[in-house]
Homo-oligomer: A and B are copies of this chain.
Amino acid sequence: MPLTWEQFYAENPPPSDLEQTRHKVENFCRKHLDHGSRIVLITSGGTTVPLEHHTVRFVDNFSAGTRGSASAEYFLEIGYSVIFLYRLKSIEPYLRHVAGAKFLDMLEVDESSENPTISVKSSEVQQILPVLRKYKAAQESQKFLQVGFTTLSDYLWLLKTTCEFLPSFGSRAMLYLAAAVSDFYVPATQMPTHKIQSQDGAPTIQLDLVPKVLQPLVSLWVPDAFVISFKLETDENILIKKARGALSKYKHKIVLANLMDTRRSRVVAVTPDDQTEIILTEEQTQQGLEIEKCIVDYLKEEHTKFIVGSTSQ
């Protein structure tokens, strides 16, 4: 039998710096609660599942973190406070625009004075300047908090901890659960201590199901919040059915359903009674638009309706 979520938290220890992070999140939330703004918790990137206690090998989920990091920028632009819970080394907001470029190639040294200076080459300034300005603006607004994780277990702990501080926002809190969380893991009790040896023959890895924390999250941790989950599949035939299955099981508000191959240009927002296609045309893509802007604009409208509906009840 797979563990319940309560058993999972009982058997898997929290990250060592959990208390520090709790403190940071609490301060951040308290500050923005006073200002009455909306808040969104974005999760982003994949999770790793160690196969050994001394981790040499692990099972990873594909996710560069593009969806989450792009969305964070658009949520900040329209005034949300953003907690960005992201897999370390996955793509980060703003930084993503310069991540492909080689940092050192962009720089040049001016040795002409006694104290050498280093500048960004003039040919690169045009590209970096708008990114840098937006980044500095986000920093100055203090509306942006990044919290990093690596393993599945750390992710689940940080998600639960962050959720402690969202109920005071009521319906003004949104959860945008874009991280690709592993469905499977190797329970600590079944994990070998040392590296699996290849002379023992090819190993079989027996994985266990990860408990679905979306269930306690929606019903217990943040019952008044506007919760969005994602469904990424490779098979079109099961996509919408699976999205609706998740909604009926977990009772949250929207599943953003997408296919691996077309996820940059098409997302279907599935609600219990309806579905809305969010499409980026070829032309829009060529103009440099991103589908995350369309997603965030759509969600802002839906969130407004949700807040109004919650208040009038």
Contacts and interface: CB of A to CB of B under 8 A. Distances in A.
B131 A109 contact: no
Given A55-B62, A104-B135, 15 more contacts: A2-B202, A54-B234, A56-B234, A57-B62, A58-B59, A59-B59, A59-B205, A116-B125, A117-B122, A118-B120, A118-B128, A184-B202, A195-B233, A202-B207, A205-B207
Nearest to A107: B132
Interface residues of A, number: 60
Nearest to A101: B103
B117 A125 contact: yes
B104 A133 contact: no
13 contacts: A2-B202, A56-B234, A57-B59, A57-B60, A57-B61, A58-B60, A95-B104, A117-B119, A118-B119, A119-B120, A120-B120, A195-B235, A202-B207
Majority DSSP secondary structure for residues of A touching B: mixed
Interface of A: 2, 48, 51-52, 54-62, 89, 94-95, 98, 102-104, 107, 109, 115-120, 122, 125, 128-129, 131-133, 135-136, 180, 182-184, 193-195, 198, 201-209, 232-235, 260-261
Contacts of A232: 56, 195
Contacts of A261: 54
A226 B104 CA distance: 32
Contacts of A180: 56
Which of A206, A207, A232 is packed against the most chain B CB atoms within 10 Å? A207
A117 B120 contact: yes
Nearest to A102: B95
A206 B202 contact: yes
